[in-house]
Structures are given as structure tokens and as C-alpha cells.
């Protein structure tokens, strides 16, 4: 199984100078190739591919004003062209938007394949570097494993990270367990379990909100492009990085616990990109990190032999009575508890939703079909997807 471990590293002055030049050259090659491909299409209706842009890179290296491209490793430059080709492939397939130009203030990354780095005694030697990188090993690679690809990344906060990609031969599947759990995500409680447990939302953004507001006000008073503006921008970026790191750390601990304790996890398939269009809830939804939560559950379930089931997001998990199946017509977000008008059962909104999600998840697992409310029938009766009916 292909995996990638990310580590923080601290380059020497010489290494940082070389790496910054490498990132600059990668950004230049990517942007030039993107501009050439865009111009070729709009002016001549011609589609350029990786082979043609690679030939252009060879010509660029011979130009007097671009001789600095020869001072860095050629592998990251070629990889930048491959990444651009992948971006265009995703665009033409409808999976992504049109590629954007890379910006210096976003940091950047450079990918080194095996011909551009050396792995010796658990140390990484990059091309044109005599000393190994000073990596902070938070965890070691499996014994006998060598990375196939190394990616160097500089984030907007000025921190350096290295990602080592390798093929993991270990069998990490956990022993099967009996419990299954349904999850209902929210904002007051990050997730509610079908067992009745509620995991509080840490609200990491609110913890740093005052510091961030002060730093952004200071940045707005600086002249853009000046030395003081760059210092203030770096301060804002570091606060944003702290918020992101805190959120990911909490989600990693939470998802690992859920994977270890449950054999099957059932969750709604949420369209987070559409939900953040609500201007009143956008910040709270983004801070909760629902998308990252599901992403971590997906790959950890694959690693450790667990089952992750996604039910249709239109299933009325909150409006449906878990006792009799009655669906209420309207249930505003402000209503956290309600009584079923048909059977009189009292429900906590989130716990009832989590239990309904668990029940439907078992149906999906057994039938192998998605379940959603039928909009064409009265009462919101459930129906199977068309695939399962064939």
C-alpha cells in the first residue's frame, strides 16, 4: 500500500538557499508552461502536452536570461510539468477547475524522484546537497523500506516540511470487533455518536480569533510589498498555521479512536463546498473540519481493515423518528429536542439522527445500495437506488 509520511525539517543556510532557488525555478517553469499552453489554445486552438512543454524547457535552459535554471536539479522542473499535465487532465475530465498560476507568497513545493535524492542510513541527501537534511523524525519508516519519492514543501508560515512516499509491506489490519457506530456531525457538538456520546467542538478558530484579528489589522496598515508588510504577513500566516495544526491534531486523535473501537462507521456524505456558501455558517462549518474528518476516516479504514459507509445526504436523519419512522415536515436548527407527534417519543435531535444513520447504514451494508428519501411519495418513504433495483 502506497503511503506518505510528512515531517518537519530544519535546513542549513546553504540548503535553504538552494531549496528556495529550486522552488522559485519550479514556480517559474510551471507558470511559463501554463501561459504557453493557454496562449496556444486561445490563439491557435492547439493543445500542448507534456512532451512539447518538456522540449520547451530544454530551450529555456539555453536562454541567457534563464541560465539559473541549470543551477538546480532538473528533476523537480520536469515533475512540475508532469503536475501541470495532471492538472489539465483533471480539468478536461471535469474533476477540477482550470489550473491557476502559482504565487510566491503561498510557499511552494518541489518533488524529487529517486534519481534526485539519496537514502542512506535513514538520512535524506538531496541532489546538489552534501549534507543530509535535519529531519525531526516524529515516527520512523518501516524497517527495510526506502522512499520512492521525496517532496519538499515550504508553507506560507515559512516552515519546511518533507514528505516521504513509500510502499508499506506491513499488514496493519486490526482484530475484528463487534460494535458499529453512526456519526452525526454538527457545530455545537463536533460529532454525536449513536451510543449517545457527544464529542465537543474545540472551535480552534475562536481560540486564536483575537490574536488573528490584531495581526490582520496590523497587516492592513502596512504598505504592500514593504519589509514590514512581509513581517506582518508572516505573523498572520503563523497564526493560521497554528489553527490548522490544532484542528488536524484533534481530528487525528478522534478518528484513530473511532477506527480502533468500531468495526463499521456510518456517516452522511456531506457536500461541504455547497454548505459553506451559507454566509452565516461558513466560518463555523470550515472550523469544524468535516471534510478532513471524513478524509481521515476513509484512509484509516482502508489501512486497518474497517468499514466506512456513507449514506445519502438527503436522508432525513434529524426529522425521522427513530421509534416509529414518522418524518416531521419542518425542524429548524434552533430546535435541539422534539417530541414525535405520532408516537410521542422524546428525541434529542443529534442522538436521534446518529441512531437513524446507524440503522440506515446497516441497510446499505446488507443490501449494497444507497438509501435516500423518495421525493415523489408522500411521507418521505425510503427507496433503494436505481442500481440496486436492476
Q: Residues with catalytic annotation?
A: 184, 268, 350
- In order, the DSSP letters of 31-70 are HHHHHHHHHHHHHH-----HHHHHHHHHHHHHSGGGGGGG
Nearest to 308 by CA among 252, 265, 263: 265
The three state secondary structure string of 177-234 is CCCEEEEEECCCEEEEECCCCEEECCCHHHHCHHHHHHHHHHHHCCCCCCHHHHHHHH
Rounded-to-integer distance, Cα 361 and Cα 268, Å: 9
Contact 190, 225 (CB under 8 A): no
Nearest to 186 by CA among 279, 110, 290, 274: 290
Beta bridge partners of 150: 112, 164
Nearest to 170 by CA among 206, 144, 190: 144
Rounded-to-integer distance, Cα 71 and Cα 186, Å: 51
Measured distance between the N- and C-terminal CA atoms of the chain, rounded to whole angstroms: 34
Under 8 Å CB-to-CB from 143, ≥6 apart: which residues? none
Amino acid at each position: 500500500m502506497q503511503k506518505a509520511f510528512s515531517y518537519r525539517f530544519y535546513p542549513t543556510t546553504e540548503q535553504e538557499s538552494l531549496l528556495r532557488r529550486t522552488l522559485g525555478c519550479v514556480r517559474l517553469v510551471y507558470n511559463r508552461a501554463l501561459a504557453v499552453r493557454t496562449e496556444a489554445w486561445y490563439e491557435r486552438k492547439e493543445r500542448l502536452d507534456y512532451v512539447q512543454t518538456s522540449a520547451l524547457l530544454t530551450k529555456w535552459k539555453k536562454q541567457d536570461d534563464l541560465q539559473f535554471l541549470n543551477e538546480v536539479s532538473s528533476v523537480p522542473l520536469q515533475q512540475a510539468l508532469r503536475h501541470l499535465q495532471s492538472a489539465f487532465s483533471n480539468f478536461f475530465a471535469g474533476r477540477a477547475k482550470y489550473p491557476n498560476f502559482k504565487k510566491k507568497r503561498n510557499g511552494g513545493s518541489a518533488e524529487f524522484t529517486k534519481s534526485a535524492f539519496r537514502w542512506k542510513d535513514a538520512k535524506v541527501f538531496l541532489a546538489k546537497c552534501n549534507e543530509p537534511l535535519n529531519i525531526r523524525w516524529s515516527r520512523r519508516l518501516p524497517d527495510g523500506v526506502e522512499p520512492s519519492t521525496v517532496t519538499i514543501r515550504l508553507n506560507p508560515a515559512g516552515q519546511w516540511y518533507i514528505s516521504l512516499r513509500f510502499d508499506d509491506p506491513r499488514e496493519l489490519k486490526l482484530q475484528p470487533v463487534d460494535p458499529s457506530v453512526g456519526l452525526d456531525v454538527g457545530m455545537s457538538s463536533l460529532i454525536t455518536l449513536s451510543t449517545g456520546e457527544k464529542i465537543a467542538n474545540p472551535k480552534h478558530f475562536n481560540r486564536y480569533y483575537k490574536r488573528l484579528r490584531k495581526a490582520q489589522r496590523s497587516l492592513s496598515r502596512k504598505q504592500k510589498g514593504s519589509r514590514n508588510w512581509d513581517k506582518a504577513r508572516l505573523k498572520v500566516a503563523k497564526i493560521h498555521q497554528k489553527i490548522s495544526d490544532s484542528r488536524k491534531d484533534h481530528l487525528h486523535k478522534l478518528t484513530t479512536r473511532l477506527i480502533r473501537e468500531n468495526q463499521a462507521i456510518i456517516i452522511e456524505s456531506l457536500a461541504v463546498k455547497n454548505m459553506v456558501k451559507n454566509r452565516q455558517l461558513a466560518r463555523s462549518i470550515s472550523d469544524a473540519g468535516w471534510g478532513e474528518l471524513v478524509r481521515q476516516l476513509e484512509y484509516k479504514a482502508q489501512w486497518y481493515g474497517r468499514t466506512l459507509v456513507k449514506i445519502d445526504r438527503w436522508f432525513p436523519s434529524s426529522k425521522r423518528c427513530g421509534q416509529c419512522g414518522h418524518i416531521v415536515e419542518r425542524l429548524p436548527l434552533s430546535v435541539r429536542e422534539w417530541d414525535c407527534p405520532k408516537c410521542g417519543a422524546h428525541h434529542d435531535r443529534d442522538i436521534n439522527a446518529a441512531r437513524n444513520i446507524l440503522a440506515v447504514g446497516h441497510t446499505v451494508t446488507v443490501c449494497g445500495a444507497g438509501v435516500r428519501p423518495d421525493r415523489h411519495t408522500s411521507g418521505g418513504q425510503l427507496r433503494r437506488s436505481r442500481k440496486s433495483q436492476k
